[in-house]
Chains A and B, each alone.
Chain A
Amino acid sequence: MLSIKGLTVKFPSRFGDFTAIEDVHMTIKPGEIHGLVGESGAGKSTVGAAVIGLLQSPGYVAGGTISLGETDLQSLTFAQAHELRGDRISMIFQDPQTSLNPLMTIEDQLIETIQAHSDVSEATARKQAVDLLEEIGIQDASARIKAYPHQFSGGMRQRVVIALAICTDPDLIIADEPTTALDVAVQSQVLDLIQRLAQERQIAFMLITHDIGVIAQVADRVTVMRNGHVMESGETAQVLGTPKNAYTISLIDAVPPLDRKIDRFHVPKEDGIASAQGNMAERWLLEGQRHDLTGLSVENLTVAFEGPRTSLFCKPPTYVALNDVSLNIKPGSIMGLVGESGSGKSTLAKVITGLVTPQKGVMNLGGAALPAGKSRSRHHLSRQLVQMVFQDPYSSLNSRHRVGDILAETLWFYGFIKDPTERKNMAASMLSLVGMPPDAITKYPHQFSGGQRQRIAVARALLARPRFLICDEPTSALDVSIQAEILNLLKDLQAKFGLTILFISHNLAVVRQMADDTAVLRNGKIEEVNNTEALYENPQHEYTKSLLAQTPVMPPSWGA
């Protein structure tokens, strides 16, 4: 039904035209879910935008044809194309938080969309809208429809987005990363819904995602893209099970499996971490190990925040972020901490680093008591021994400082090296230790890719000679192949320098590869702690089981 032939999209710029996608072929039949997978910059979203006619200015279609049924989408005027949008093609965006107008009720947005494409009265449109919401799994829809978007949770909001996309009964829906911003449980519900709609209403879906697990679970056919070119295309089982293209193979290799532990990820080109220039930093780190392997234990930690004030006379309700959490991280081990958003993972990291003061509980670092929150002095040893790697490498490095200054500051701050030139040398050496060219010290953070920035962030943490590292979702902002490189790097560093790591992630597959022990956190309570292999092979708690069951994976029979 949708047929794309030889599609090329170009973005004019001062330095000539930039070709975003070239010679893309694709067909999608009614009721088919067609996965479009690739890493960032592959041009997946550009394909979707070209089909629906909403290419970001100044991009334009330089060649090829897109036709939906008998209609040639290229020949339409703007008005005709706009008429067709919603009516025959619609779209679902990635982030349900931002894709609904915050100032209009769900009802107004639905009725407006329905009335834009069919000549029905407001009452009829409202009835259709309520029926649709019920069908999509929103209970008590006739009352809920009066609510504003912010009154829905993330998953419910994505359902509303889907309702808006299908309320005009389109033939084709372009779903651009529809579950990336959602937790696994919600993700699996939304994917089920998409599958159901494809079957029952015969809607064709173009499912754009970077997550191969999602594709494996729901897509009938898949197209793999890289740098604007189609690498491979075909039945999902065939493409993912027996990939022929070298890129597809390496992409699938980089995906951490959920069902087994592998020692290292296969990464096409990997710079060994022990280059000659890194020797200096390596020796320096090893000689700095005055402290033995440093474990950490927390007991009965409770953290509660004040909620929004609702009344003048009562105290604002408290929101319990951590509820009586006890955790023991063995010296020199990696503790994985998994949980959905809002489960308190990051709060625990903040308590350990002293940024949040718990109401109750004690902490113990390497055999010595660790003061909580503000009672920890500025010069407390733990402020050097405990370091953090943050999730978003784009905001965790000061964009106005050179990389060399960012790194040398740590050395200066802890008083490790007095001489500025030596500090620079050590920073350069540390960069090569984490697999970066040493000349990076003269550049600014924005000159690097996300993966490179995360390496810089790791280097910064190491320059404090830490014994305990907290990695808060260190790879969730990165592509899978980059993720594989960073995870390899962290593993190597951990083994070499005997670091103890608290590894926080919502991605269960990643944690299985990294952690010796794993703790499952939910609503501020630890549901289960165990040796990682035991926990994954034989989960005791219902919640752990459901998390594992809902994580989208490739069926083992495809044997990647």
Chain B
Amino acid sequence: MVYFILKRIVQSVFVMAAVAFLAFSLFRFVGDPVTQMTGVETSVEDQERLRDELGLNDPFVYQFVRFTHEMVLGDFGFSYRTRQPVANMIADRIPATLELGVVALIISLMVGVPAGVYTALNSRGVMTQTILMTTLVGVSIPTFVIGIMLIFIFGVQLGWLPTFGRGGTVHIGNWQSSLFTIDGWRALLLPAITLGVYQLTLTMRLVRAEMMEVMRSDYIRFGMARGVPMRSLYYKHALKNTLVPVITIVGLQFGGVIAFSIVTESVFQWPGLGLLFLESIRFVDIPVMGVYLVVIAFFFVLVNLVVDLLYVAIDPRLRIRDVHDGLPEKI
């Protein structure tokens, strides 16, 4: 068990190193940082002096090591555009994106899992066919169209919900949260639904497919044969077995939700990481882009680690260590 976690952490370090290298290459090879920073009137000597001061004349490997070292220490450099430390810019934007992503995830799970179970247990019902059809339409429409449609219906026509921004926010330490005001929730709802629709459909279809598979398995049939109450069979036996593969996909998807919230954030002018990234691209703000890359990779790695741990929590067959602590493996 411990060995397993350590192994995963070591793997993660390698992944992060590779991503850091990519981010560094972006810095180093996409355009010349000195010409980006200085105007036309800066003399060649001054440029050369700046280059020297910034250490851009040092060997490549040395520069990369320094870059990684500073990253680890939390020093992400300065933005070309705003002249602020990138670390602060990212830290300001992370709460918005995380809250949006988590709420989208919760919506998709709260609707997707029950809908998946329902459609699996009543696989031929009219309701099931309706749900499947609707969600199929749901995934086929691009995210931005869904966003715009929601804005049009709930924001413009009905005027129930705001169409952009985060609404009222509360500061808790450095964390700017919109989860503690009604206004904040009203602003959060539309973008979260937009972002969660795809994930919802995927979760539902996955739960449905897995659940139908599990319901055909021998242990469920054996449970039926010995008269275990149907409620327990569905929700205790079958659902838990369904969750093992579902968690993997949902976990991977969550990384994706955080990373690709760009479209939703841009439609709703949501001040999160995605919007920051878009702005940075527009101004060729390479330091921000590089750090964004690293932060997103870090999320992916973290989520995958959590998924692995959840696996072990759910499936006793993976807890090899326990077996050897207590009982012999086979008797």
List the interface of chain A (C-beta within 8 A of B).
52, 54, 82-87, 89-91, 93, 95, 98-104, 112-113, 116-117, 143-144, 147-148, 150-153, 156, 161, 164-165, 168, 174, 308-312
Contacts and interface: CB of A to CB of B under 8 A. Distances in A.
B227 A117 contact: yes
Interface in B202-253: 217-219, 221-230, 232, 236-237, 240-241
A401 B164 CA distance: 58
B9 to A, nearest CB: 12
A186 to B, nearest CB: 13
A101 B219 contact: yes
Interface string B312-327: 0011110011011001
Tell me the dominant secondary structure on chain B's binding face.
Answer: helix
Contacts of B223: 101
Given A144-B327, A152-B331, A164 B226 contact: yes
B222 A99 contact: yes
A91 B316 contact: no
Interface residues of B, number: 33
Interface string B277-316: 0000000000000000000000000000000000000111
Contact of B237 (A95, A101, A309): A101
A151 B318 CA distance: 11
A312 B3 contact: yes
B2 interface: yes
B329 interface: yes
Contacts of B320: 308-310
A156 B3 CA distance: 30
Contacts of A161: 222
Contacts of A147: 327
Given A101-B219, A148-B316, A312-B6, 16 more contacts: A83-B227, A84-B227, A86-B226, A90-B226, A90-B227, A91-B225, A101-B241, A102-B315, A102-B316, A103-B316, A116-B228, A151-B330, A152-B330, A153-B330, A164-B222, A312-B3
A168 B229 CA distance: 14
A147 B227 CA distance: 23
Nearest to A86: B227
Contacts of A95: 218
Contact of A112 (B219, B228, B241, B321): B228
B245 to A, nearest CB: 13
Contact of B225 (A54, A104, A310): A54
B327 A151 contact: yes
A85 B321 contact: no
Contacts, number: 103
A83 to B, nearest CB: 7
Contacts of B230: 82
Contact of B219 (A89, A99, A148, A165): A99
Given A93-B221, A103-B316, A113 B330 contact: no
Give the residue among A86, A98, A151, A168 with the most B Cβ atoms within 10 A. A151
Contacts of A151: 323, 327, 329-331
A82 B227 contact: yes
A54 B218 contact: no
Contacts of A168: 226-227
Nearest to B229: A116
Contact of A150 (B2, B219, B236, B317): B317
B224 A100 contact: no
B226 A165 contact: yes
A43 B59 CA distance: 78
Contacts of A144: 327, 331
Q: Which of B222, B232, B240, B317 gathers most chain A CB within 10 Å?
A: B222
B227 A93 contact: no
Closest 6 CB pairs of A and B: A86-B227, A91-B225, A86-B226, A85-B227, A98-B218, A148-B316
Given A90-B226, A103-B315, A103-B316, A156 B237 contact: no
Given A101-B219, A150-B317, A86 B225 contact: yes
30 contacts: A54-B221, A82-B227, A82-B230, A84-B227, A85-B226, A85-B227, A86-B226, A86-B227, A86-B228, A89-B225, A90-B227, A91-B222, A91-B225, A91-B226, A93-B225, A99-B219, A99-B221, A100-B219, A101-B237, A103-B240, A103-B241, A103-B315, A103-B316, A116-B227, A148-B316, A151-B330, A151-B331, A164-B222, A308-B320, A312-B3
A98 B219 contact: yes
Contacts of B236: 104, 112
A309 B331 contact: no
Contacts of B314: 103
A103 B238 CA distance: 10
A309 B2 CA distance: 11
A112 B227 CA distance: 10
A96 B328 CA distance: 19
A87 B222 contact: no
A80 to B, nearest CB: 11
A99 to B, nearest CB: 4
Contacts of A308: 320
A102 B331 CA distance: 17
Contacts of B317: 102, 148, 150
B330 A85 contact: no
Given A54-B224, A85-B227, A112-B228, A93 B6 contact: no
Interface string B166-178: 0000000000000
A93 B331 contact: no
Nearest to A83: B227
B317 to A, nearest CB: 5
A93 B327 CA distance: 26
Contacts of A86: 225-228
Which among B224, B226, B324, B330 has the highest number of chain A CB atoms within 10 Å? B226
Contacts of B3: 309, 311-312
Contacts of A91: 222, 225-226
A533 to B, nearest CB: 36
Contact of B228 (A93, A103, A113, A174): A113
B237 A104 contact: yes
A535 B308 CA distance: 52
Contacts of B327: 143-144, 147, 151
Interface in B81-136: none
B231 to A, nearest CB: 11
Nearest to B219: A101
B329 A93 contact: no
A95 B6 CA distance: 36
B326 to A, nearest CB: 8
Contacts of A311: 3
A310 B321 contact: yes
Nearest to A308: B320
Nearest to A81: B227
Given A150-B317, A151-B323, A85 B219 contact: no
A196 B329 CA distance: 29
B225 A85 contact: yes
Find the residue from A83, A101, A103, A308 having the highest chain B CB count within 10 A.
A101
B237 A93 contact: no
B222 A153 contact: no
Nearest to A102: B317
A431 B321 CA distance: 52
Interface in B1-47: 2-3, 6
Given A93-B218, A144-B331, A102 B226 contact: no
B20 to A, nearest CB: 27
A85 B224 contact: yes
A174 B226 CA distance: 11
A66 B321 CA distance: 50
A185 to B, nearest CB: 15
Contacts of B321: 310
